[in-house]
Chains A and B, each alone.
Chain A
């Protein structure tokens, strides 16, 4: 029985849209995965010595922040980890026993990326611990406990994933705890650290999380088994629809028509909603660079581009794939390509402008830092906005808007293509900035990048015509590609 399931899973994996691309892509994905794995392992190994160098007890420090680690893990899961419910439908009427189906689909989540990625960190870290003279058996027990906790998160995510608001609750919880600790109002780690340390000190203590895990599995199993009906656990959640006319956009003519549609697109689909969240996360990306003086100065422009470019990279990258599910309709309507592209362009520009304003808190790091961000925004508007739209003509990955989760997820291993397309958009300004720094000073460098942006803006109409032509050429193959659902 299980063999049949594994057969189905293997087919689903090898035939998934993200895997089915050409060989070069596969090699690249493999390479990237190896790279990230090595990074994680390296962190696991080096963290111990790094903390020691900072005169902290590595093991105690890790245990201190473990509570945040676990909370954050749950947050990421709520956001990204897909629950494996939808594939069950076709199996219901076949001669499979219900418990088998449930066990299998729950078991499948255990193999998810979101679980084993932790092993890449904890196992090398534990090896170092043992090498540094920590008790072997205790370290193993500590690991068992940690992984029990990680798997508790896994099943919590499954049970809780139907409640959208929980995500916000967890964000507030983490931020609240973090802030309280920072301002020394309340320190949650005072209570949790002894527990995590205890897991090492008293070996048998690992049974607590382990037993909770077993209990939780039993509960999840029962919950799923009882809800294995089309009108219960397998039903699609239907939103209560509200008609919005957004009349104020009418004054913009055709552009307004498309903008109206795009706003609804972003608001009403989970996948596109996450792009907004990602854009906000991008806003804080600069903190890594500006707060850290070890980075080479050339990298500043890199951050400058990223801070305001979140929406551009996450949303703009996938134009016109956002409209993939009804692309045929668009192609039969009296739609000027120019209007369509312009509306997407405006959307990207507005989002970039808003991000730039929001990023004004970087003024804290000095006027020069914020100027870098503004220059980045100019470049984004003038050049990158065109590049993403042009790139879109070649992307052709259909986006299933109804898909509960996007980005990472089990079904669609995160989209490497998108990440790769990002690179050229960053290399050119990096090069310009470097030339400026090399032959002049920072002002020259910033002027060069901003100049490129302004130039792109001036030749906007030319570029639009080019993009329009490209879209027309690619029309038939795009329609063809969008017909292939995942």
Chain B
């Protein structure tokens, strides 16, 4: 589904990301772990064509992301709060995204009903604009909004951060369900090794922009990663 070729990103001569080759097959749930500054968000930003690569390119379903925009119709993403429109209510935001992805109100309502438990009664019909929601609740809105329109690729940057324990376990279930769908490729980044190991089939660790580990998840994975990051 996603092919990375000779991709690198340099800022003023400093290389922040350098991936020779990476292939993420369709249906995989892919976890990206690493310390601050490892290049996780840079990679996702490149994948979403928000920044330009210094060299190389990324193909998303055989569409080169920085030359064509056709990948947008099947890719859902949430990187941070700047993906939210502060002056809308959560409902209006969902419908707005729905409109852009050719989903009618009923489709969106159905999706929202499905995730009512995840919202925990704090999102819908709460008479609050997105800008006035807490960080955690904003995140919930952003994550569910990526699922509107049944995207084939779902990209979530640090989805577990800022969430309460109950929501984290609910989110894991949502991501696992997505991962079980053979048509959906999920990309998740996190600082939290345990969460990532739990929801992903495959884990790639980045360090200073380079891939340092690429493992299929097994019982020993967590141990292996913990040893690697324990310095």
Contacts and interface: CB of A to CB of B under 8 A. Distances in A.
Given A241-B127, A334-B73, A264 B88 contact: yes
Interface stretch (A34-42, A135-143, A322-330): A322-330
A264 B92 contact: yes
Interface stretch (A106-114, A242-250, A280-288): A242-250
Contact of B82 (A268, A329, A476): A329
Contact of B51 (A257, A264, A335, A479): A479
Interface string A239-270: 11111110000000010010011001100110
A172 to B, nearest CB: 28
Interface in B93-112: 95-97, 99-101, 105
B150 to A, nearest CB: 13
A268 B87 contact: yes
Interface stretch (B27-35, B128-136, B210-218): B128-136
B56 interface: no
B48 interface: yes
B52 interface: yes
Given A241-B128, A261-B96, A328-B82, A335 B72 contact: yes
Contacts of A480: 51
B198 to A, nearest CB: 27
Contacts of B52: 476
A132 interface: no
B132 A326 contact: no
A117 to B, nearest CB: 32
A476 B50 CA distance: 6
A327 to B, nearest CB: 8
Contacts of B161: none
B229 interface: no
Interface in B114-156: 126-129, 131-132
Nearest to B72: A334
B8 interface: no
Given A401-B87, A476-B52, A243 B100 contact: no
B97 A333 contact: yes
Given A241-B127, A268-B87, A328-B83, A257 B99 contact: yes
B113 interface: no
A480 B88 CA distance: 24
Nearest to B130: A241
Nearest to B87: A268
A353 B126 CA distance: 37
Contacts of A332: 48-50, 72, 75, 77, 83
Nearest to B104: A250
A1 to B, nearest CB: 33
A181 interface: no
Nearest to B74: A334
Contacts of A240: 127
Interface string A401-426: 11000000000000000000000000
Given A257-B99, A332-B72, A243 B87 contact: no
B124 to A, nearest CB: 9
Interface string A194-220: 000000000000000000000000000
A236 interface: yes
A231 interface: no
A325 B84 CA distance: 8
B87 A331 contact: no
A242 B89 CA distance: 7
B16 to A, nearest CB: 14
A254 B127 CA distance: 26
Contacts of A239: 129, 132
Contact of B86 (A331, A335, A402): A402
Given A329-B83, A401-B86, A476 B72 contact: no
B201 interface: no
Contacts of A269: 87
A164 interface: no
A238 interface: yes
Contact of A241 (B73, B99, B129): B129
A326 B50 contact: no
Contacts of B51: 476, 479-480
Contacts of A331: 48-50
B37 to A, nearest CB: 16
Nearest to B105: A245
Nearest to B98: A257
Nearest to A267: B87
Nearest to B142: A329
Contacts of A479: 50-51
A265 B87 CA distance: 7
Nearest to B125: A243
Contact of A334 (B49, B50, B86, B100): B100
22 contacts: A238-B129, A239-B129, A241-B89, A241-B129, A244-B92, A254-B99, A325-B82, A325-B86, A326-B86, A328-B79, A332-B49, A332-B77, A333-B72, A333-B97, A334-B73, A335-B72, A402-B131, A476-B51, A476-B52, A479-B50, A480-B51, A483-B82
Given A240-B127, A329-B82, A332-B83, 7 more contacts: A245-B92, A261-B85, A261-B96, A325-B86, A326-B82, A329-B83, A332-B50
8 shortest interchain CB distances as A-B pairs: A257-B99, A268-B87, A329-B83, A334-B72, A238-B132, A241-B89, A334-B73, A241-B129
